[in-house]
C-alpha cells in the first residue's frame, strides 16, 4: 500500500492491504508507535497536502494494464474522519503540489495521462507512468516512466518535467526504481543493485547522482519529510510452487523454500523451477532445477536468466549472461554434453521457448537499437529468423507456442494476439473473446483452445477459450488456505489434468530512516 508522513512529521498514515479485505487507512504516532484507524471509507492513500488534506483512491482494483498498479477513483478529504469527495476516475497515482492542487496519472483505455491541474493533460503515453511527485518549490514534477515495450514496472526511468518551461529530462538509465520522493532539491529513489541489494540514490534535477545508502533485501521508498527522514517499506517475499492434479492433494514443489515456476512438462508430472542467489553477480545468480510429483529431491540443471525444457524433457535451454548473447543447452540426463549457442545478431534476449518439434528455439529479443520481436533460432546455429513485426513479442513475458507447432501467442500493444508460425510475414490476428488483462496459461492438446486467467488475489479461475468461436468453459478454480496470497505464472498441461503456479505472499513493514547526509 501507500504511506506518507503527516505535514508536521509526527505521524505516518498508511493504507493496510490485508488478505482479500478492502484497504483500511491507519495512522501511527512516531513518538509511541500507537496506531488507530482513520476514516471509514475503504481507500488507498495517494498523498497528503501541506495543509493535511488526503488524496485517496476509492474502490481500488488491480489495473488490467499494469498489475503492479491499482486503478480507482481519486477522492479528497479535507480532514480526518470526513467523507471523501470524488474528483476523477481511472486514477492510478496522484500528488499534491505545494499550492495544494492535485496532479494525477490516469489510465484511459490503455493510455496513461499525466494531468495537472486535473483535466489538463500535460503528457500522454502508451506506456506506464507512475509516482508523480512535486518538488518542494513547485517548479518540477518528477515521475516514473516505463520503456516502450515494457509489460510491467520491472524497468523504468525517472523523468523530470520543468513546469515553468515545459521541458522533459530523463534523469536515469532504465532500472528497477521503487518509489520517488523529493528530499530538499534532490529526487530520492530506491534501486535494485546488481548484487540484489537495495540502493538509496539521490538525483539532482540535472541528473547528478549520489548514493545515500545500501541495504540488503527488497525495499521501496514511500515518502520523505522536511527533516530529511525517509519512509521506507520492506517487502519480505514468500513464494511457494504448488501443483494441482486429479486425485491428489495440492503439492508443494518449491526449491530451497521458494523459487519461480518456469514450466510444466506435457505429462503434468515435472516442473521447472528457477532460484536466485544473493552471492553471484547479476545474470549468473539464477539456477534451474526440476522437481517431480513423486516427492524426490530437486535436480540441478544449469544457470541462466530465463529457461525452458525441451518437449521431451531431455534438454534445458537457458539465456546466458552478458554480451555477446548466448543460450546454454544442458542435458537433463546422461544423453549429451552441455554446449553454448551464440546469437551474435541480437543485443539482448528476454525469454525463450522450444519449438514444438524440439529442433529450434523461439526467442524474444531485440537487434541493436531496435524494439523486441519474436525470432526462431535453429539449434545448429546461424542467424535467427524474425517471426513477428517489431514490437510484437512474447505474451505477458512467456512464449506460448501451440502443441502442433503452427501458432504462437504473442503480445501486440498489450493485447494478446495469435502469430501464424507457418506464415510469419502475415500480421498477427486478434483472439476472439479475450478480455483485457487476461493472460495465457497454456494450450489444449489439439491446439484449438487456450487456457486464460486474470491475475489477482485468490481464488483464481482458469477457463478454456476456443480460438475459433471465443466460447469459454471453466477449467480450474485455484484456491489456498492462505487467502492473502496471489497466483502468478500458472502453467496448464495440454491434457487439462494438471496446473502448476506460484503462490506469492508479499508482507511488508514500514521503517523510518534518519541520519542520511
- Are the C-beta atoms of 419 and 387 separated by less than 8 Å? yes
Separation CA 272–CA 257 (nearest Å): 15
In-domain check, residue 266: no
pLDDT band at 279 (very low <50, low <70, confident <90, very high): very low
In-domain check, residue 140: yes
Q: What would the 3-class secondary structure string for 17-33 be? A: CCCCCCCEEEEEECCCC
In-domain check, residue 34: yes
Q: What is the DSSP letter of 428?
A: P
Give the per-residue pLDDT at 462: 94
Long-range pairs, 55-61, Cβ under 8 A, ≥24: 55/94, 55/95, 55/96, 55/102, 56/25, 56/84, 57/91, 57/94, 58/84, 58/86, 60/23
pLDDT above 60 (res 153)? no
- The CA radius of gyration of the chain, in Å to the nearest whole number, is 24
pLDDT per residue over 434-476, tens digit each?
Answer: 987 788 999 999 999 999 998 777 788 999 999 999 999 999 9
Give the per-residue pLDDT at 63: 62
pLDDT per residue over 466-491, tens digit each?
Answer: 999 999 999 998 887 766 778 888 99
pLDDT band at 280 (very low <50, low <70, confident <90, very high): very low
- Are the C-beta atoms of 374 and 362 separated by less than 8 Å? yes
Span 28-45, average pLDDT: 88
Strands annotated E in 343-446: 348-354, 360-366, 373-378, 385-386, 393-394, 400-401, 407-412, 415-420, 429-430, 438-443
> Which has the minimum average pLDDT: 361-370, 373-382, 390-399?
390-399
What's the grid cell of residue 310?
525441451
Domain of residue 24, CATH code? 2.130.10.150
Separation CA 395–CA 404 (nearest Å): 18
CA distances for 176 relative to 150, 347, 372, 476, angstroms: 12, 20, 19, 34
- In angstroms, how far is the first alpha carbon of the chain from the final one? 27
Domain count, the chain: 1
Top mean pLDDT of 160-169, 179-188, 389-398 is at 179-188
In-domain check, residue 281: no
Instruction: Collapse the DSSP code of 508 into the 3-class scheme (helix H, G, I; strand E, B; otherwise coil) and give the result.
Output: strand
pLDDT above 60 (res 152)? no
Give the per-residue pLDDT at 418: 92
Within 8 A by CB and 6+ apart from 120, the residues are none
Question: With pLDDT > 90 as the criterion, what percentage of the chain qualifies?
Answer: 54
Give the per-residue pLDDT at 1: 65
Of 467, 470, 489, the closest CA to residue 478 belongs to: 489
In-domain check, residue 383: no
Separation CA 332–CA 315 (nearest Å): 5
- Are the C-beta atoms of 259 and 272 separated by less than 8 Å? no
Separation CA 314–CA 323 (nearest Å): 27
pLDDT per residue over 72-106, tens digit each?
Answer: 999 999 867 678 999 999 999 999 999 999 999 99
- Are the C-beta atoms of 214 and 199 separated by less than 8 Å? yes
In-domain check, residue 400: no
Neighbours of 413 (CB within 10 A): 10
Separation CA 114–CA 121 (nearest Å): 6
Read off the pTM.
0.72
Give the per-residue pLDDT at 150: 43
pLDDT: which is higher, 484 or 317: 317
Separation CA 246–CA 252 (nearest Å): 15
- 396 beta partners: none
How many helices and strands (H and E) does the chain possess?
Answer: 0, 47
Give the per-residue pLDDT at 141: 97
In-domain check, residue 185: yes
pLDDT above 80 (res 179)? yes
pLDDT above 50 (res 144)? yes
Only one residue has cell 528476454, namely 350
Average pLDDT, the chain: 87
Separation CA 171–CA 6 (nearest Å): 28
Give the per-residue pLDDT at 206: 87
Give the per-residue pLDDT at 149: 43
Give the per-residue pLDDT at 166: 76
Of 54, 137, 45, 44, the closest CA to residue 97 belongs to: 137
In-domain check, residue 113: yes
Residue 99 belongs to domain spanning: 3-235
Amino acid at each position: 500500500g501507500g504511506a506518507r508522513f503527516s505535514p508536521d512529521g509526527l505521524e505516518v498514515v498508511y493504507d493496510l492491504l490485508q488478505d482479500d479485505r478492502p484497504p483500511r487507512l491507519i495512522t501511527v504516532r512516531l513518538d509511541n508507535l500507537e496506531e488507530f484507524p482513520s476514516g471509514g471509507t475503504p481507500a488507498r492513500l495517494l498523498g497528503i497536502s501541506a495543509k493535511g488534506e488526503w488524496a485517496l483512491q476509492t474502490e481500488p482494483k488491480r489495473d488490467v494494464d499494469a498489475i503492479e498498479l491499482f486503478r480507482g477513483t481519486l477522492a479528497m478529504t479535507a480532514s480526518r474522519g470526513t467523507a471523501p469527495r470524488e474528483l476523477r476516475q481511472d486514477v492510478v497515482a496522484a500528488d499534491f503540489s505545494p499550492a495544494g492542487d492535485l496532479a494525477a496519472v490516469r489510465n484511459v483505455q490503455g493510455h496513461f495521462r499525466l494531468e495537472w491541474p486535473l483535466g489538463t493533460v500535460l503528457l500522454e503515453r502508451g506506456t506506464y507512468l507512475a509516482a508523480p511527485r512535486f518538488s518542494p518549490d513547485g517548479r518540477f514534477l518528477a515521475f516514473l516512466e516505463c520503456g516502450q515495450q515494457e509489460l510491467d514496472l520491472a524497468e523504468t526511468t525517472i523523468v523530470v518535467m520543468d513546469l515553468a518551461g515545459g521541458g522533459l529530462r530523463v534523469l536515469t538509465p532504465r532500472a528497477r526504481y521503487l518509489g520517488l520522493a523529493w528530499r530538499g532539491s534532490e529526487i530520492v529513489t530506491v534501486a535494485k543493485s546488481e548484487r540484489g541489494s537495495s540502493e538509496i540514490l539521490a538525483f539532482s534535477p540535472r541528473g547528478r547522482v549520489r548514493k545515500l545508502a545500501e541495504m540488503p533485501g527488497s525495499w521501496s521508498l514511500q515518502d520523505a519529510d522536511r527533516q530529511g527522514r525517509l519512509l521506507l517499506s520492506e517487502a519480505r517475499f514468500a513464494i511457494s510452487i504448488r501443483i494441482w492434479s486429479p486425485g491428489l492433494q495440492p503439492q508443494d514443489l518449491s526449491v530451497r523454500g521458494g523459487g519461480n515456476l518456469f514450466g510444466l512438462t506435457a505429462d503434468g508430472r515435472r516442473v521447472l523451477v528457477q532460484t536466485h542467489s544473493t552471492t553471484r553477480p547479476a545474470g549468473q545468480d539464477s539456477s534451474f532445477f526440476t522437481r517431480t510429483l513423486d516427492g524426490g529431491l530437486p535436480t540441478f540443471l544449469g544457470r541462466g536468466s530465463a529457461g525452458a525444457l525441451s518437449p521431451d524433457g531431455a534438454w534445458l535451454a537457458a539465456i546466458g549472461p552478458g554480451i555477446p548473447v548466448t543460450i546454454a543447452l544442458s542435458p537433463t540426463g546422461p544423453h549429451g554434453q552441455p554446449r553454448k549457442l551464440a546469437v551474435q545478431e541480437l543485443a539482448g534476449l528476454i525469454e525463450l521457448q522450444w519449438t514444438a518439434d524440439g529442433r529450434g528455439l523461439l526467442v524474444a529479443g531485440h537487434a541493436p537499437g531496435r524494439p523486441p520481436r519474436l525470432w526462431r533460432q535453429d539449434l545448429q546455429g546461424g542467424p535467427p529468423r524474425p517471426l513477428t513485426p517489431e514490437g510484437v513479442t512474447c505474451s505477458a513475458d512467456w512464449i506460448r507456442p501451440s502443441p502442433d507447432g503452427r501458432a504462437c501467442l504473442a503480445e501486440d500493444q498489450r493485447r494478446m494476439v495469435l502469430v501464424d508460425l507457418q506464415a510469419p510475414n502475415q500480421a498477427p490476428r486478434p483472439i476472439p473473446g479475450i478480455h483485457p488483462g487476461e493472460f495465457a496459461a497454456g494450450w489444449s492438446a489439439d491446439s484449438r483452445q487456450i487456457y486464460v486467467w486474470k491475475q489477482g488475489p485468490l481464488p483464481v479461475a482458469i477457463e478454456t477459450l476456443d480460438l475459433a468461436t471465443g466460447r469459454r468453459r471453466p477449467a480450474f478454480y485455484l484456491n489456498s488456505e492462505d487467502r492473502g496470497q496471489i497466483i502468478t505464472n500458472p502453467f496448464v498441461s495440454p491434457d487439462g489434468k494438471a496446473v502448476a503456479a506460484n503462490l506469492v505472499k508479499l508482507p511488508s513493514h514500514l521503517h523510518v530512516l534518519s541520519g542520511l547526509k
